[in-house]
Amino acid sequence: MTQQKRKSWAPILMGVLLLGGILFYDVPATAQEEVTSAIRRYKEYEVSTGYYEEYEARPRRQRPLVGVPGVSSGLFPYSPTAASVRSRTRLADSHRAIKFYWGRRCEDCHVAETRDIHTVRANLTCRQCHGGEPIASINHYFSPLNPIRRHAYVCAKCHEGASASYASYVIHEPSAGSASAKTGFPLLYYTYWFMLVLLVGTLAFFIPHSFLVGLRELFRKKRKAEK
Amino acid sequence: MMPKSRIKRFGITDRLFHLFLMLTFIIQAATGFSRLFITTGWGKKLSYVFGGYETALIIHKWAGALMIVGFLVHTIYLLTRIKWGNFIKSIFGPDSLVPNLYDVKHLWQRTLWIFGLGAPPRLNRWTYWEKFDYWAVYWGLPLLAITGLMLMYPLIICRMLPGWSLNIAMLLHKAEALLAISYIFIVHFFIGHLRPSSFPMNEGMFSGSVPLEEAMEEKPAWIERLKKEGKLEALETTPPATWYRVIYYVFGYAVLIFGIYLIINGIIYSRHITLH
């Protein structure tokens, strides 16, 4: 009897422990922690700062951008001179030579960028991440938003412990169903269309189906009542 | 002694699982919607019920963690229900919720019946739409759970996955939640409450039993099988007590009305949100 009782408590106990595990599992913020383990030493240090000893290192999981998307491709995709001419993603002043720049507001040109979660929900302003004038291109070598140090210089201001991998979250998402998402973020694009077809398909089948069954049952009920 | 006019359909465990799912689902829908629609006046008002934007998230996380535990406990329960000695029959037999070819046949027959082109299908214990309801939760919940845990612990997840996977997780979580909410609050509520044969409420999931006459009409193959196996009498039962009916009617309708309130406002304010 007691053994049986004990057995019946086992799943409940397991459930409670699991619940506690899910809710309270937390680890110290690794990116800012002191180096404590010889095995993790290199990885943690490199990921948190982008530097290993005095050398600038590539983040482990996220290589810094070496191509200029949509501009150049091939075996040797990047040339600093070409990039500065064709693309604004690597300039020290990304708004160089834009007419009447002094009289414009960010949202005059970057409309979509002012409407994502960070701006709408968290009320961040552009300059809180992109910095003051002159605003460097995000891939400029010394920009705080350069992928090699973005996590430590920008993300970690709010998200304590942000790693280089974490910083590859796309803040200014392309519109998920758009053609630009298809080229720029294909996984997002295909996930979006898959979910949309699933959503619309399920409802388009089950709503009319259930409604018509209801209608049919109504007629049957009426006929029965008449009989 | 009241006449035994009803047949037992759901045991106490099944009903408790359903009740648990109802409560956690409605909490998740309301807290989730309050955050999704926070840029609208309605979303703000809804979030005040839960103590604001931040507190709604704490409740959402707790209820989500409870759901995951419930899901795992249910899976263990499911494994104990399988008759391992007679595995094939247990999985593909008429008492199983696993879809089979009969479901496709029944769907086709029922579609013909809708348009007056044939007799209604002779449904067995679990109909194809009931099976769909069941399995929809079964793949929807893990998807919401995994993406939810990813968003709950982004720093840990980013040690294994690249950060842009959180963009995908956010999209999946939102789209799947919208699918689940619109399916439950439109299709499931219609089948359970508004369909003439269920109106005003299909009580099976609360009382545990359904009127024998109704079961004979909708699921004749089930009753016939029970008769043939001589199990019908053992499953016959008396109607639930009036006080109990009052409780589950009030509770069921409270959830129903709240669900409809959420979906109507969701549709009204849908132009303020996107799927991703």
Shortest CB distance from B76 goes to which of A11, A185, A221?
Answer: A11
C-alpha gyration radius of chain A? 27
Q: What is the mean pLDDT of each run of 10 residues along chain B (276 residues)?
A: 80 94 96 94 94 94 96 93 87 89 94 92 92 93 96 90 91 96 95 88 92 90 92 89 95 95 95 83
CA A138 to chain B, closest CA, distance in angstroms equals 17
Q: Return the amino acid letter for B201.
A: M
Residues of B in contact with A177 (CB under 8 A): 275-276
What pLDDT is attached to residue A74?
53
Beta strand residue intervals within A35-188, DSSP E: 51-52, 55-56
Six-digit token string for A160: 């304590």
Q: Return the amino acid letter for A188.
A: L
What pLDDT is attached to residue A34?
44
What pLDDT is attached to residue B28?
97
Residues of A in contact with B148 (CB under 8 A): none
CB contact under 8 A, A218 and B149: no
What pLDDT is attached to residue B47?
95
Strand arrangement, sheet containing B236-237:
B209-211, B6-8, B236-237
CB contact under 8 A, A209 and B111: yes
Sign of torsion over alpha carbons B220, B221, B222, B228: positive
What pLDDT is attached to residue A201?
96
CA B68 to chain A, closest CA, distance in angstroms equals 8
Residues of B in contact with A218 (CB under 8 A): 196
DSSP-based three-state secondary structure for A50: coil
CB contact under 8 A, B153 and A25: yes
CB contact under 8 A, A168 and B182: no
Over residues A116-158, the pLDDT tens digits come to: 889 988 889 888 888 888 888 887 777 888 877 888 889 999 9
CA A102 to chain B, closest CA, distance in angstroms equals 31
CA B219 to chain A, closest CA, distance in angstroms equals 14
What pLDDT is attached to residue A59?
44
Residues (pLDDT < 50) of chain A are: 1, 32-41, 58-69, 71-72, 77, 80, 83-85
Three-class HEC string of B150-192: HHHCHHHHCCCCCCCHHHHHHHHHHHHHHHHHHHHHHHHHHHH
Beta strand residue intervals within A111-221, DSSP E: none
Which residue bears the tokens 């090699």?
A: A148
pTM of the full structure: 0.82
CB contact under 8 A, B163 and A210: no
Number of residues written out for chain A: 227
Residues of A in contact with B178 (CB under 8 A): 199
Q: Quick one: A75 exposed, middle or buried, by C-beta within 10 A (0-12, 13-18, 19+)?
A: exposed
Whole-number Å distance between alpha carbons of B274 and B276:
5
What pLDDT is attached to residue A68?
45
CB contact under 8 A, A185 and B167: yes
Residues of B in contact with A19 (CB under 8 A): 65-66, 69
